[in-house]
Amino acid sequence: MVWLWLREHRGITMGLLGALVLFVYGVIPTLQPAHFGRVYAAYGGVFIVSSIIWGLVVDKKKPDRYEVIGAGIALTGAAVMMYVSR
């Protein structure tokens, strides 16, 4: 949303909404009960997949096989960090 506001001049409302979303996105990991480093790393894996989905749905850009493979690796790594017993 911030991208749309800055790059495509979609108006201040879009910019403010984007700022709110980014703020919430930054706060959510700090509220999780698990170790912050693990949560933040897992959040990164989810962010990668979300970015590819955004590109597919909003930008109409079909991901290539390496983007899909990379997203799968990122999610697998996030799952290992979060759920493997210690």
Return the higher-pLDDT residue of 5 and 49.
49
| Closest to 72 measured CA to CA, from 83, 63, 85 | 63
Give this prediction's pTM: 0.65
Residue environment code for 7-24, b if the CB has 16+ CB neighbours within 10 A, otherwise e: eeebeeebbebbeeeeee
Ordered by start, the domain boundaries in the chain are: 1-31, 32-86
**Cα–Cα distance measured from residue 29 to residue 13, given in angstroms and rounded to the nearest whole number:** 26
**∠ CA 3-24-84, rounded to 5°:** 110
**Among the listed ranges 36-50, 51-65, 69-83, which one has the minimum average pLDDT value?**
36-50
With a cut of 80, say whether residue 81 has pLDDT above it: yes
Average pLDDT rounded to a whole number, residues 62-67: 96
- The gap from C-alpha 83 to its chain's centroid, in whole angstroms, comes to 19
Q: Mean pLDDT over all residues of the chain? A: 87
